[in-house]
Amino acid sequence: MFEDFISALDNFGMAFVELNDIAIWLKKFDFDLGVPISEDGQGDILDKALAIGPREYQLDPSCDYWRGVETILNSEVAALAKCL
């Protein structure tokens, strides 16, 4: 069971593990944490965000501009999209 746990953590490839992911893994061993399991975890949301490159990225004034200033952007992807 421990080796399977280490393998599962390695497969995530991230520096964090969500409670949702742990709950799904424990379910394989018939152990229920009693927390609702979500199909779309934060990792899935992060993967979708990382899949968008600068060419496809659409700048959003409500979140990309720091304090509404057009010359200061909040992320590298937003900056690259602006340059492109």
Q: Model confidence over 22-79: pLDDT tens digits?
A: 888 888 899 998 988 877 655 666 666 667 778 888 888 888 888 888 888 888 888 8
Sign of CA dihedral 25, 31, 33, 37: positive
Q: Which residue do the tokens 């340059």 mark?
A: 83
The residue segments making up the domain with residue 73 are: 54-84
Q: Are residues 6 and 27 located together in one domain of the fold?
A: yes
Which tens digits make up the pLDDT trace of 5-18? 777 777 776 556 77
Judgement on whether residues 23 and 36 belong to the same structural domain of the protein: yes
- The CA distances from residue 67 to 30, 32, 40, 71, in Å, are 49, 44, 30, 10
Query: Within this chain, do residues 47 and 61 fall inside the same structural domain, yes or no?
Result: no
For the record, the structure tokens of 25 come out as: 């893994």
pTM higher than the cut 0.85:
no
39 & 1 share domain: yes
In three-state secondary structure terms, 81 is helix
Work out the number of other CB atoms within 10 angstroms of the CB of residue 17.
13
| 31/43 same-domain check | yes
Verify that 45 and 65 share a domain, yes or no: no
On whether both 58 and 47 belong to a single domain, the answer is no
